[in-house]
Amino acid sequence: MKPCTGSSATGGGLLVSTRQNIRPAEGEEATWGSSPFSVYSQRHGFPADASMSGGLSLAVRKDNRDSQIDARRDIYLNGTYQAFFKGFLGGDSSWQDIDVDARTYRSLDTVSISPSRKPSRSKSSPSPVLPSLHGNSTIMAPPRRGSR
């Protein structure tokens, strides 16, 4: 990733992935033929024992948290888009993957009312922080007529 401004960065890449010797786990041979992986592979003409993917990626990140290890405030956003193409660098199918990680950090400090009726925050222990939202989606391109 290349820094853009302050706490932001962008990047891109070339992707090559090979998966070989795909087989059922020991003891699961009887159900392998009806597994979602096998059914999908058979339906779309993919080899069941290996696959190859080639594609491109683009990533964007914004991180202005006060600490990467123990964040207490601010936001972290990371988005990645990957596109794989049949025939590109040996790829045997076309598909896309989108990954979004969006977090906001807010302190869960407890506020108590003292006898003088002034709100005060407890300083005895660090307050917990609540991060939020993470998502991932893989999108398979529909097979074209006459293609695998």
What ranges make up the beta strands (E) of 7-133?
8-19, 51-63, 74-84, 95-107, 111-113, 119-121, 129-130
The H-assigned helical ranges of the chain are 29-32, 36-43
Mean per-residue pLDDT over the chain, rounded:
77
Beta-carbon count within 10 A of 47 CB: 11
The three-class DSSP label of residue 135 is strand
Place of tokens 């009312």: 113
The HSE-up count of residue 6 (CA atoms within 13 Å, CB side) is 5
pLDDT digits (tens, 9 = 90+) for 79-134: 999 999 999 998 988 889 999 988 888 776 654 555 555 555 554 445 555 555 55
Alpha-carbon distance 55 to 25, whole Å?
Answer: 29
Percentage with pLDDT > 90 across the chain: 24
pLDDT digits (tens, 9 = 90+) for 66-89: 877 877 778 889 999 999 999 999
- pLDDT exceeds 50 at position 143: no
The reply to whether the predicted model has a pTM over 0.75 is no
- Place 19 in a pLDDT band, splitting at 50, 70 and 90: confident
Average pLDDT over residues 55-72: 87
Alpha-carbon distance 86 to 95, whole Å?
Answer: 8
